[in-house]
Amino acid sequence: MSDTHANTLGWLLDEQLGSVDGVRYAVLMSGDGLLKARTRTISQEDGEKLAALTASLRASGRAWDEFTGGQGVRQQLIESVSTIGLTTAAGQHTMLSVVTTGPHADVGLISHHMALLVVRLGEQLGTRERTPVLQPDGGPAA
């Protein structure tokens, strides 16, 4: 896989979120957990792990929303003893996730910067939903 910090989106994550007080790192991923971009403060390997974890948590959040009769998940927050994780939709089939430097980070400020980035990039952040490749007989490709 190519270095997801070297692309333009990695640079934008650094510019828009990497300098915000309280942000440890940020990743941009497809809805199914493929890393698209990351800040320089997280390695490629850890970025891929965070993207996969975030996709799983997002699926759980969507199930929660459906069960409780919600009308869509806007943002998810996970608060642990030493960090806070925030995830928000960032375009079609795309998510933006931030991990804080500690439990006392200004979540409102970080959320605001996340929203500004999403609005700034709009449709550029969208990812087409992947579909399985089918064989001529209609079965999945091997």
Show the low-confidence residues of the chain (pLDDT under 70).
1-2, 4-6, 122-142
Q: What's the CATH fold of domain 8-125?
A: Beta-Lactamase (3.30.450)
pLDDT of residue 7: 73
pLDDT of residue 9: 86
pTM (two decimals): 0.80
**CA dist 83 → 105, 106, 112 (Å):** 8, 11, 18
- What tokens does 19 get? 């300098």
C-beta separation of 78 from 85 below 8 A: yes
16 burial type by CB count under 10 A (0-12 exposed, 13-18 middle, 19+ buried) = buried
pLDDT of residue 108: 96
pLDDT of residue 91: 81
For residue 85, give the nearest of 13, 24, 128, 1 by alpha carbon: 24
pLDDT of residue 120: 80
Contacts of 62-68 with CB under 8 Å at 24 or more apart are none
Identity of the amino acid at 103: P
pLDDT of residue 124: 57
pLDDT of residue 134: 65
pLDDT of residue 11: 87
